[in-house]
Amino acid sequence: MMRTRREWLKGSGATVLSLGLAGCASPFGGEQSAENSETTKPAALGVAAEWNAIRARVWDAFALGRGGHADAGATVAQNVFERFENASGANNAHETLAETGEDNYAEFEEALGELRTAGLEEGDLERAREEAVIASGRLRAAQRALAGDDVAQAMDLQLVADTLRNAVVLASAGSFDAAATVASVTGTRFEESNVYETLEGADGDAAGRLAAAIDGVVSAAEGEDAEAVRSSASDGLAAALDGSYAIAPSEAAAGAGHVATFQAQGWDAAALASLGGPSTAFAHAAALTVYRLRVRDAAWLYERGRVAAAKRIVENVFAHFEGARAHEALEEASEDAYQEFEHDGLEALSTAIENDDAEGVGSAVETIDDALVTGIETLGTGVEPALLEAGYVKARIEDAYERYRLGENAVAAETARGLFETFEANEADFHETLEETSESLYHAFEEEHLNGLIGAFENDDATSVDEHVAGIRETLLEFETTAGTTAQVSAVESGYMAAQVFDAGVLAVLGETGRAEAVVQAAFQHFEGGAGGFHEALEEADHDRYESFEGALEAAGSAAGRGGDVASASREFNAEAIEAIYAVVAAAGGSFNGAATAIGQDTFARFEEARVHELLEDADHEAYEGFEAALNDYIGALEAGSGVSGAAETFATAALRAQFAVAGAPDAAPVGDTDSGEGENEPDLAGGPNVVGGVPDDADHVVDMTAVAFEPAELTVEAGDTVAWKHAGGEPHSVTAYEDEIPGGAAYWASGGFESESAAREGWENGTGAIQSGQSYVHTFETIGEHGYVCIPHENAGMVGTIVVE
């Protein structure tokens, strides 16, 4: 089917509609225009406006890919899918699209999924463009069917301005060539569309101003003048909005779409903020710091005679690194460091452990450490390497403390002495940065606590040991919060907590289960206590990630408490900790934060002077105040660089309510605590065998099923472990093994109890195999190897997962 759609696009000349400006004829056929758009129901205008905001975001995703930010574009596409899937209440964008025609709904969802997976994630921009054409076109066809062609054309014109403003995002990020291309393509498509002729007939002045503005954006981008790009794009937006009021059948129709342009601008600011800093490179460096600590754990177990467990850690580090985002980043930052870490280091360490070569183990660990420090220094900027070194030192002090508690006083003292030497050598610029940041903190760390700890270890002075370890924790955390931003501190603390939980795994292997539980509990208390702002930053950046992070931490503590598989639980928590680093860093804004804030401020200023300002205030004063308040809060989040994604969602919801208010249907907006429309048309779905209410107490692992993702997407378990997939959000899901991606000899598994993938897919079509709210699917794994699986209804959104059975 996908190839047929793509071939149709190429063969029919429909590629000229790449902004979805279809004019009077739908490019897909089959849809009928509303008989008289002047009598279109007000709620239909609100829905049509929301579809325009979605169309704008589709083109945001593609524009980011064109600008060299394919990962960010893929994230936008994923977020659009999640917001669309979670839409609820009467008149929501999701269900109403299906009501306009099953083809519109199915093709939109499929194209949106392929835009992300086959297009942006694969780096195939041509494929991404084709899928954006289809997704936008299907929404345009639905607008025409629901609200009439003249409404659709007015919103087409507003979409021209929305896509033109993508040049502002790209220019602000320094991608001037892409900005010029986006603006040029926007102009070409606009001139080739039927809406151009319509606008010339209705308001020739607006048509001329819009064409001139597009040319101005192209020229400014080619001249790498970001301010001129913003100015010309603003002129284009004003012209397009004036034109939309001229061609719309009513002021309400144009006004609803006008509010949607403000929503689109809000999403532009969020996209730009996500490109900023702390950079993704810093997140990569934070992830590499965890590997430094993991190989130390392997050496610890080797020294205690646990050779198999030590070798398994090295193998896990290697496997994790192969699939990690930091893998390519390290290779690009320093080819030598990459080779030394993966080949000269990890491979040599594994061989040395296997051959019981103590000298080789020590040499390999130092090779790995030197390589990763090089990578971290290359990836980090400013104080970032020093901050990560502070987190590393804290974690190594925790290692020394645990070895002291096990009676290894000399080893503990040697560890602390080694840290003193690397500090004096100014590894990762930590010594100088700490001293420059605060003389008092510098003296407290080096002279009072680190020196004192060495002596306390040697003298077996438990009271002093406790005092100095606590002093180092407090001193270095204060250094982090003084020298770094909340996002930077959060990345450091997330890695530090992962190291603590990994220590619990080592202690469990050594039979110290009580101490393992205490270490995890200490990590949990540290997080709950704020962890330098990490707790709040993660909750604001991604609430679902915050909950899964806490859940994985609790699961690790539970595993330690009952003598369970702490090693496996620690790896699962590490996956959450790494994702938390990226989530907080991505939400922080950073280097593009000022430009993102400027977009937010411009949005506010335009609203204050806009024609729709009075329309909204007159239509629904509460919606008006809510819109302004949400926008003001959003600007505050952009300025602070914290909580941007949550504030963007809140503003978009306020805009949605305002769209319906201006359309003349303030009480029909699908927002708030309404259950309207839910439950009445719920599909008649059944679970089948192993789909149960809640999560069984004896489940060894839990995978959350969010709107369009399994979390974690990859899970490592032991043979005989039971996994429960818990419905955590969105529509009903399935858990369906890919028949050709499970080990040979393994029995087929899927929610619904089917014996083959084809049967499972047919069963889903017939309403069987669904996991719904409050339910979970449970399966026990016996066959070693990798098991790939999928959620059938969200396959196009990339909702796939892997269970690795060891």
| CB count in 10 Å sphere of residue 93 | 21
Does the pLDDT at position 244 exceed 60?
yes
Alpha carbons within 13 A on the beta-carbon side of 351: 10
Whole-angstrom CA distances from 388 to 297, 337, 341, 377, 492 are: 18, 17, 18, 10, 6
pTM reported for the whole predicted model: 0.58
Sign of CA dihedral 53, 731, 43, 29: positive
Does the pLDDT at position 637 exceed 90?
no
Burial of 222 (0-12, 13-18, 19+ CB in 10 A): middle
Question: Tokens 């993938």 label which residue?
Answer: 757
Please report which residue ranges of 566-681 form alpha helices under DSSP H. Answer: 566-587, 593-609, 611-619, 621-640, 644-663
Q: What is the mean pLDDT of residues 415-430?
A: 95
pLDDT tens by residue, 276-305: 556 677 899 999 999 999 999 999 999 999
Q: Which H or E element spans position 737?
A: strand 736-737
Backbone angles phi, psi at 779, to 5 degrees: -145, 140
Report the pLDDT value the prediction gives residue 18, as an integer from 0 to 100: 40
3-state secondary structure 196-243: HHHHHHHCHHHHHHHHHHHHHHHHHHHCCCHHHHHHHHHHHHHHHHHH
| CB count in 10 Å sphere of residue 512 | 18
Under the banding of pLDDT at 50, 70 and 90, the label for residue 686 is: confident
- Of 538, 539, 489, which is closest to residue 388 (Cα–Cα)? 489
Q: What is the mean pLDDT of residues 589-598?
A: 74
pLDDT tens by residue, 310-328: 999 999 999 999 989 899 8
Report the pLDDT value the prediction gives residue 6, as an integer from 0 to 100: 32
Report the pLDDT value the prediction gives residue 77, as an integer from 0 to 100: 93
Per DSSP, the three-state class of 298 is helix
Q: Which H or E element spans position 110?
A: helix 102-114
CA angle 773, 776, 782 (to 5 degrees): 165
Cis peptide before 42 (omega within 30 of 0): no
Contact 546/538 with Cβ under 8 angstroms? yes
Return the biggest CA–CA distance within the chain.
91
Say how far apart CA 110 and CA 88 lie, in whole Å. 20
- Specify the amino acid at residue 525: Q
Report the pLDDT value the prediction gives residue 679, as an integer from 0 to 100: 39
Report the pLDDT value the prediction gives residue 4, as an integer from 0 to 100: 32
Does the pLDDT at position 89 exceed 60?
yes
CA angle 487, 179, 325 (to 5 degrees): 40
Report the pLDDT value the prediction gives residue 534, as an integer from 0 to 100: 96
Does the pLDDT at position 643 exceed 50?
yes
Alpha carbons within 13 A on the beta-carbon side of 485: 19
Report the pLDDT value the prediction gives residue 561, as an integer from 0 to 100: 92
Question: Tokens 């789909």 label which residue?
Answer: 691
DSSP 773: T
Report the pLDDT value the prediction gives residue 786, as an integer from 0 to 100: 95
Say how far apart CA 521 and CA 500 lie, in whole Å. 10
Report the pLDDT value the prediction gives residue 11, as an integer from 0 to 100: 34
DSSP 624: H
Q: What is the mean pLDDT of residues 18-38?
A: 39
Burial 690-714 (b: 16+ CB within 10 A, else e): bbeeebeeebbbbbbbbbbbbbbeb
Query: Which tokens belong to 91?
Result: 């008149």
Say how far apart CA 780 and CA 757 lie, in whole Å. 18
Q: What percent of the chain has pLDDT over 70?
A: 92
pLDDT tens by residue, 569-587: 999 999 999 999 999 987 7
Say how far apart CA 436 and CA 608 lie, in whole Å. 46
- Of 63, 174, 165, which is closest to residue 592 (Cα–Cα)? 174
Please report which residue ranges of 380-461 form alpha helices under DSSP H. Answer: 384-405, 409-424, 430-437, 439-443, 451-459
Say how far apart CA 791 and CA 806 lie, in whole Å. 23
Q: What is the mean pLDDT of residues 452-481?
A: 97
Report the pLDDT value the prediction gives residue 111, as an integer from 0 to 100: 93
Under the banding of pLDDT at 50, 70 and 90, the label for residue 379 is: confident
* The residue count for the chain: 806
Query: Which tokens belong to 405?
Result: 């508690």
In this structure, which long-range contacts are made by residues 436-443, counting pairs with CB atoms below 8 Å and at least 24 apart in sequence? Answer: 437/383, 437/479, 437/482, 437/483, 438/478, 438/479, 438/482, 441/475, 441/478, 441/479, 441/482
Say how far apart CA 476 and CA 466 lie, in whole Å. 16
Contact 333/375 with Cβ under 8 angstroms? yes
Q: Which H or E element spans position 82?
A: helix 70-85
Ranking 122-126, 315-319, 703-707 by mean pLDDT, the lowest is 703-707
Burial of 386 (0-12, 13-18, 19+ CB in 10 A): buried
Residue 668 CA to chain centroid, in angstroms?
A: 31
Across the chain, mean pLDDT equals 89
Contacts for 99 with CB less than 8 Å, ≥ 6 apart: none
Does the pLDDT at position 761 exceed 90?
yes
Say how far apart CA 217 and CA 235 lie, in whole Å. 10
Report the pLDDT value the prediction gives residue 277, as an integer from 0 to 100: 52
- Identify the residue with better confidence: 161 or 682: 161
Q: What is the mean pLDDT of residues 606-630?
A: 95
Does the pLDDT at position 34 exceed 60?
no
Under the banding of pLDDT at 50, 70 and 90, the label for residue 591 is: low
Report the pLDDT value the prediction gives residue 19, as an integer from 0 to 100: 44
Whole-angstrom CA distances from 612 to 49, 682, 783 are: 14, 36, 62
| CB count in 10 Å sphere of residue 255 | 30
Q: What is the mean pLDDT of residues 181-202?
A: 93
Does the pLDDT at position 32 exceed 70?
no
Contact 27/143 with Cβ under 8 angstroms? no
Query: Which tokens belong to 634?
Result: 């959003």
Report the pLDDT value the prediction gives residue 328, as an integer from 0 to 100: 86
Under the banding of pLDDT at 50, 70 and 90, the label for residue 37 is: very low
Report the pLDDT value the prediction gives residue 26, as an integer from 0 to 100: 33
Contact 85/731 with Cβ under 8 angstroms? yes
Per DSSP, the three-state class of 652 is helix
Contact 593/273 with Cβ under 8 angstroms? yes
DSSP 779: E
Q: What is the mean pLDDT of residues 8-36?
A: 37
Q: Which H or E element spans position 789?
A: strand 785-790
Whole-angstrom CA distances from 509 to 318, 460, 504, 514 are: 20, 25, 9, 12
Contact 238/205 with Cβ under 8 angstroms? no
Report the pLDDT value the prediction gives residue 285, as an integer from 0 to 100: 94
